[in-house]
Amino acid sequence: MIEMSEKDGAVTFRVRVQPRASKSEIAGEHGGALKLRLTAPPVDNKANEECRRFLARMMNVSPSAVEIISGLASKDKLIRVRGVRLEHVREALSKK
């Protein structure tokens, strides 16, 4: 199960990314984190930006509401989505 927490109008959870995939998609769970496959390469911040855009589309929020708060240079990242409730995030992730 993906570990999530809600505090001060934002939801925080971990993701594990796999860059250079054939398509951007949710690939399940990895050690309590959401596993994402992303088409972007891990250079020049492209995979991080694709991660933010992909999660924003899934949760129907603007990309600026999705923040990578740790793990910018790692496959394991801590994500904060502002302006959503925990139930909304779980529902959005379960639909994909």
Q: What are phi and psi of 88, to 5 degrees?
A: -65, -45
CATH number of domain containing 38: 3.30.1200.10
**Would you say residue 92 lies in a domain?**
no
**Would you say residue 96 lies in a domain?**
no
pLDDT in tens, the chain (96 residues): 899 999 999 999 999 999 999 999 999 999 999 999 999 999 999 999 999 999 999 999 999 999 999 999 999 999 999 999 999 999 998 876
**Would you say residue 44 lies in a domain?**
yes
Which range marks the domain in which residue 52 is found? 4-83
Q: How many domains does the chain have?
A: 1
**Would you say residue 51 lies in a domain?**
yes
Supply the pTM of this predicted model. 0.94
SS3 9: coil
Provide the CB-side half-sphere exposure for 22 (13 A, CA): 0
Q: Please tell me the distance from the alpha carbon of residue 90 to that of residue 46, in angstroms, as a whole number.
A: 26
Handedness of CA 68, 24, 53, 47 (dihedral sign): positive
